[in-house]
Amino acid sequence: EDPWIVVIDALDEATAVTGTKMVDFLIESVDRFPPWFRVIATARPDRELTSRFKGKGIQQYPLKASSAENREDVAEYIRSRVEAEELGSPPGIVDRIDELAGGNFLYARTVIDALTDLDPAYRLTPDELGRLPPTLGGLYDRMFRKRFADISRYEQEVAPLVSCLAVTRMPVPEPLLITASGLDPRAAIRGLRAASQFLTRDTDGVRLFHHSLIEWLTDDPVGNPFTVFPADGYTRLADACLREIRDRKGKVSDYALYSLPFYLVETSRIGDLEGVLRDPRYIEGICGYNLEEFLKVWSFVERSTPLRIQTVYAPVIETPSRYGEFVLYCITVLFKTTGYLDGAMVIYRHLEHGYRDLGNKDGLQKSLSGQALILQARGDLEDAMVLHKEQERICRDLGNKDGLQKSLGNQALILQAQGDLDGAISLLKEQEQLCRDLGNVDFLQRSLGNQALNLQARGDLDSAMVLHKEKERICRELGNLNSLQISLGNQAVIRYIRGDLDGAMALHKEEEQICRDLGNKDGLQKSLGNQANILCARNDLDGAMTLYMEQDQICRELGNKDGLQVSLGNQAVILNARGDPDGSMALHKEKEQICRDLENVEHLALSLENQALILAQQGRRAEASRAIDEAYALAEGHGYAARAKQIRSLKDQFRL
């Protein structure tokens, strides 16, 4: 009554050795199988093979190495083998092998065999994990010789494809791969069919099935007749992606948008790269899909090439009228994120004049908001509030609730900076309700985060942390990395206040990595400064100074004077603690001048207070007294009660 089941394992191997006799037999016989007879055949995803198994009585079940079930099975195999072979040292070896295997059982088995092999020629040590096991290289060699017995045909129809697949950053769309290969489409399709057992396919495209195969294909150009050269693959892919951008026909593929800059860098084509980054078609394509990808591309470009944002987009600043509205918007976001506020302001003013001439009120309120945010970043809060108020009036007239909530949120930030916490909370609550009505979860998380900061300022850390956590959850769900790093940084500050230095540092480290990935230099300098503060609290002054100096360098590059003065003051405190009062005083003086230029009263008072302390310790009492008196007058006269109290205590201590 039970069915009889025949299992044929590795049918593709039988085909490679004996031809198609067994395949022909199975396909021709399936209609004659009795109801109780079943055949299960396994094979690699060989297109020439799988394309034949169609029709009545035949079912195909693709099994993916990346599936959760397969990953779990391979991980369990690795754990059991490691325990049986007593490979538990060093710690983490199971996770390391699992990560390298990526769901590939063949690789996992071969690596563990190599770790336990008694023959030094074939043995791998735990420190060598990641290198190609010698036995696996031999297996690939046998598989390729079987599959590609005609080496000249491999070189003509397969190698051009494989060279691209060996260097691709992600699955390649098949049409683009065929173009990149330079082959006649029929020859390319034959080549893909011939290599199909070594490929994996998904909705995004095609790639080689495992990184170990890539290593084998690129590691030995002399001894391996199937070797391909990465430089050839990079060149082919760069040319194909560049052709898409320049073709001006149809939609540019996501693959070309994300990958082209990397391939141009690999091939040292900096001139072509500059042209692509300035090309409106490229900017519209990558920003239209994901603006954060544009930021990531530029982060990579500035790390890897001499190109800089300000020089590449200088023509945009000079003649913004040559570029479309969306392109200008994308470039202003890039400028603001990387701290080039002057360039962003030029574009916003150009847009404002155009919108006023056209009577485009919606565009006008957006350009006013952009300018106001730049003025806020520069500390010009009064002029910023004027623009936000105009934006608010326009949005109320238009019934534009989304623009209105943005304006209210930004006005709240100004009130918060001015110490009007009640006024700020009132505006943020109105913004929150508008966002909930609109279903605008992105700006909802911003409103929650800003309300949390107000609660922090009031000392209600528990309520603030609840709102920061809600913001974090929303940001992770949205994939909003920039807002996520802000939330993490604010939570870290609360942990620092509570004395949880390890927890604070962990959050700042995650914040730092996100900022580096995004190329968010302003967020990065803030994170580094806060980490340095933690190291100071741990009395690791050398480590703290290293981070403050990196923060200093970033702020100078960005022209961020406010961030710079904070870093200089902290460096000065460390120098004084190290016994270098002259070096400390020089940095305090530089901080003082910046604060006077910025009219930053609070930090000016702090700088004068620290200078008075050094002068008093040096016995220069008259100078110390003048400095401390000015510091006290500034703090007392501008409502910084806590700072004034601390300065008063210092005056009494040194009898100044």
Would you list the domain boundaries of the chain?
Answer: 4-50, 69-131, 147-228, 577-656
Categorize the per-residue pLDDT at 50 as very low, low, confident or very high, splitting at 50, 70 and 90.
confident
pTM across the whole model: 0.67
Cα 481 from Cα 405, distance rounded (Å): 22
Cα 481 from Cα 518, distance rounded (Å): 8
Categorize the per-residue pLDDT at 418 as very low, low, confident or very high, splitting at 50, 70 and 90.
confident
Q: What is the pLDDT of residues 297-351, one digit of tens each?
A: 998 899 899 999 999 999 999 999 999 999 999 999 899 877 788 999 999 999 9
Cα 523 from Cα 535, distance rounded (Å): 19
- Topology (CATH) of 147-228: Arc Repressor Mutant, subunit A (1.10.10)
SS3 150: coil
Cα 56 from Cα 32, distance rounded (Å): 12
CB 564 within 8 A of CB 548: no
Element (H, E) at 40: strand 37-41
Cα 538 from Cα 171, distance rounded (Å): 46
> Per the structure block, which two tokens stand in for 447?
């409103």
The overall average pLDDT reported for the chain is: 91
Q: Compute φ and ψ for 7, nearest 5 degrees.
A: -105, 125
Does 444 or 655 have the greater pLDDT score? Answer: 444
Q: What is the pLDDT of residue 63?
A: 82
Q: What is the pLDDT of residues 224-247, one digit of tens each?
A: 999 999 999 999 999 999 999 998
Q: What is the pLDDT of residues 523-572, one digit of tens each?
A: 999 999 999 999 999 999 999 999 999 999 998 887 788 899 999 999 99
Q: Compute φ and ψ for 380, nearest 5 degrees.
A: -90, 75
Cβ contacts of 179-186, under 8 Å, gap ≥ 24: 179/240, 179/243, 180/236, 180/237, 180/239, 180/240, 181/236, 182/236, 183/157
Cα 24 from Cα 613, distance rounded (Å): 93
Q: What is the DSSP letter of 1?
A: -
Categorize the per-residue pLDDT at 87 as very low, low, confident or very high, splitting at 50, 70 and 90.
low
Q: What is the pLDDT of residues 596-623, one digit of tens each?
A: 888 888 899 999 999 999 999 899 989 9
DSSP 417-446: HTT-HHHHHHHHHHHHHHHHHHT-HHHHHH
Residues 6+ apart with CB under 8 A from 477: 441
SS3 28: helix
What are the Cα distances from residue 521, in Å, to 292, 487, 566?
14, 17, 16
DSSP 515-561: HHHHT-HHHHHHHHHHHHHHHHHTT-HHHHHHHHHHHHHHHHHHT-H
Cα 461 from Cα 467, distance rounded (Å): 10
> Per the structure block, which two tokens stand in for 635?
């703090």
| Location of structure tokens 């057992």 | 197
Q: What is the pLDDT of residue 325?
A: 92
Phi-psi region of 67 (alpha: psi -120 to 50; beta: other; left: phi over 0): beta
Q: What is the pLDDT of residue 191?
A: 94
CB 129 within 8 A of CB 162: no
SS3 8: strand
Cα 8 from Cα 43, distance rounded (Å): 9
Q: What is the pLDDT of residues 378-388, one digit of tens each?
A: 778 899 999 99
Categorize the per-residue pLDDT at 427 as very low, low, confident or very high, splitting at 50, 70 and 90.
very high
Mean pLDDT of 391-401: 97
- N-to-C CA span, the chain: 104
> Is the predicted pLDDT of residue 89 greater than 70, yes or no?
no
Does 49 or 549 have the greater pLDDT score? Answer: 549
In this structure, the number of other CB atoms found within 10 A of the CB of residue 117 comes to 15
- Return the C-alpha torsion angle 29, 31, 37, 39, nearest 10: 60
| One-letter amino acid for residue 505 of the chain | M
Does 399 or 201 have the greater pLDDT score? Answer: 399
